[in-house]
Amino acid sequence: MSKEHRLAFLIDGFNVYHSIIALERKRRLRAKWLDINSLCASYCHLFGKTARLKSVYYFSAIALHLQNENPGRIKRHRIYIKCLKDSGVQIELARFKKKSVYCKKCSKKFTAYEEKETDVAIAVKVFELFSKDLYDTIIIMSGDTDLAPVVQSCKNIFPDKEVIFAFPYARKNNELIKLEPKSFSVNPKKYLNHQFSNPYILSNGEKIFKPKIW
């Protein structure tokens, strides 16, 4: 009997989110109610007949600094995370950090917020999972070149393991393809084919309706 090929997907939440925004702008297709677990499962066939999706990890951060300015955005994100968690996705939350930005045009400083720790969290998770021998292949859904060192290090430290990239729509990265040629792009039609039901019914029977404005 063939040995099971264990897969895990690590999702860069904001990279996927901006991909979906690009899809809305370029093709006028709305796909924010994305069932990530189902989407990832649809790509198992690329890894052979013995491939099995074991886990999906979603990395993101809640924009708490928008509580007064745009509380609806925070509420929608939390609703979505609730559905992801119920569907079996493991949630890994980072944070936004305040920073001072200088504008050369107006010669003034203003406060901005930047998502922090996600790239590091993904990298650490890859090493944690491989060191425990939980998976054979990890697919990182992102087009962020900051994650390139993860692949380079894993080739040396875990030669029998594999890290590849699944590029969200409009996030394809040639540098990462050269690093790992097996990487592939997510077909935008997949976003539309893998949406949560509306309403999404939680395991406890609670109904979660897709936000009308998003």
Segment 146-179, tens digit of pLDDT: 999 999 999 999 999 999 999 999 999 999 999 9
- The span from the CA of 162 to the CA of 136, in Å, is 7
pLDDT value for 73: 83
* Stated length of the chain: 214
The one-character DSSP state at 204 is T
What is the pTM for the complete model shown? Answer: 0.90
pLDDT digit string, tens, across residues 19-61: 999 999 999 989 999 999 999 999 999 999 999 999 999 999 9
Q: What is the CATH number of domain 5-201?
A: 3.40.50.1010
Which residues are paired to 102 by β-bridges?
109
Q: Domain ranges for the chain, please list them.
A: 5-201
| Residues 109, 114: Cα–Cα separation, whole Å | 15
For residue 93, CA distances in Å to 16, 45, 96, 203, 213 come to 15, 29, 10, 22, 24
DSSP one-letter string for 42-94: TTGGGG-TTEEEEEEEEEE---GGGTTT-HHHHHHHHHHHHHHHHTTPEEEE-
Peptide bond preceding 199: is omega within 30 degrees of 0, i.e. cis? yes
Question: How far apart are alpha carbons 95 and 60 in whole angstroms?
Answer: 8
